[in-house]
Chains A and B, each alone.
Chain A
Amino acid sequence: MFNQLKARFGSGLAVGVIGMIAIWIIGMVVLPQLLMVDYSFRPNLLPVDIGGPKDIYTLANYNTLFTNEIHLKIFFKTIWSSVLVTSITLLVSYPIAFYLAKVATPQKAALCLVLLIIPFWINEILRTFSWYIILAYKGPLNALLLSLGFIQRPIRFLSGDGGVLIGMVYAYILFMIFPIYNAIESLDSNQVKAARSLGAGWIRTHWRVVIPHAKPGIATGCIMTFMLAAGSYAVPSILGSPGSRWFTQIIYNWFFEGGDWNQGAAYAFLLLIICIGFIALVMRIFKVGLGDIAK
């Protein structure tokens, strides 16, 4: 590999390139992850005991989760809710992505894309905060529903998981729309026309022509959305209540309130495993390879 680089750029630059990549891959990506895993299998010890006889590999940190009913419940709720967020986001995004890629004129599509990006240049915190205002007990949504007579008494949107789900769909929808848009855009429009003129209805056209083509985009969108939702800290901490905690909040508490980093590392590793498992599952369902993702 070095020789190929050297042949193109000369040895000085080739060494520089390899060096920079090595620093990043080894020092920032691989070693920290491995160390986190190593950490998660060790007990939380005082500095004096580290390296001593008590410093052994143990599954105790993982056992904590499975014996703590509340944590376990939040763990599964986080997974299930993230799946829900991903599915809702997919359903909302697909028509938009298709419209932008195949229905709208290029001028209109370009304008829509700029409009789409604007909310996403704005902080996740601020975007979530705006939903906090809308969904508040005395907020505008309740005021609107009351004045229209749909409800008799304000709804507490922010006391359950409902607010968190709404906020997450809003926060991560662009990560679903863009990959699907990119995938559908590369589909030859004649294929859609051909399917239509050969008598396929709209649903069948989508099911048999557009969706199979858009598979890598759908897979990428689902993976990104799930990862962002499961790993979200901002949205549940702003839109959630003490009763609707997210798994990331428990991890945070282990680090900065419980002061047990080893325990926190174990929980973090479990979260990572869930995300990797989801990626593997999606790749299998959509039959796409790693190379198709994140194009």
Chain B
Amino acid sequence: MIISIASGKGGTGKTTVAVNLALSIKDANILDCDVEEPNAHIFIKPEIKSKEKVFIPVPEIDKEKCNACGKCKDVCAYNALAILGDTVLVFPELCHGCGACSYFCPQGAIKEVDKEIGIIEEGSINEIGFVHGRLNIGQAMAPPVIRVVKKHIKNDRVNIIDSPPGTSCPVISSIAGSDFCVLVTEPTPFGLNDLMLAVEVLRKVRIPFGVVVNRSDLGDDKTDKYCIEEKIPILMKIPFNKDIARAYSKGEPFVRCFPEYKDMFLVLLGKIKETIA
């Protein structure tokens, strides 16, 4: 089973829900796909057992063979290649690694070389599996790193994917293939606006979803009304509590200070399983 945790708006409590849900289940496998700003490790404190680098293939031009015919530039959709006089210039930061240039080069002058864009770290703590990716500083493209994180999905476990905020490609890459997506929101105008965007995303990719309202007593009742009108299940509400906020600030999962929440997370899991079945 794959459950992804997403939100639209940042800072609504995705990592909090992902981590505390994982700790409430015995055999969870947590995959932090927020590779730009991964945070789950701060709470899970896993023992890292293996690391692997993530590369994307970028072109390298063999100057001996290249006759600057320009075919590579013509087939590149990302302007990652340019012809200047009789040489080809490569802009690796624009390259998506599609491989078209080397395939079409009539001279066989283009070889693909690996460019490192991030790193994957895998480990565990007690029964819980853990993996996250970290995008290297200055790199723009998160999805290739996210795809490698997701290779660590384990079929015999409850896989919990912590997604990045937003509604664009990194989110789509993270939630793709999930059996269910939990949207974490807060009942403020910003939270609701971004929840509505996230709902559009989930309807487009056709993944079943429900909502967790965090800091549920700060704001107004418009989020509740919206969910009722749109027939979106509200799976759980977590009221604002300074002790929860403080636990979060110190990197402590709050089910450890408030064990009664473990049952509530198990109820959440039960509702998710019911929906999938």
Interaction A to B = no
A residues contacting B by CB (< 8 A) are none
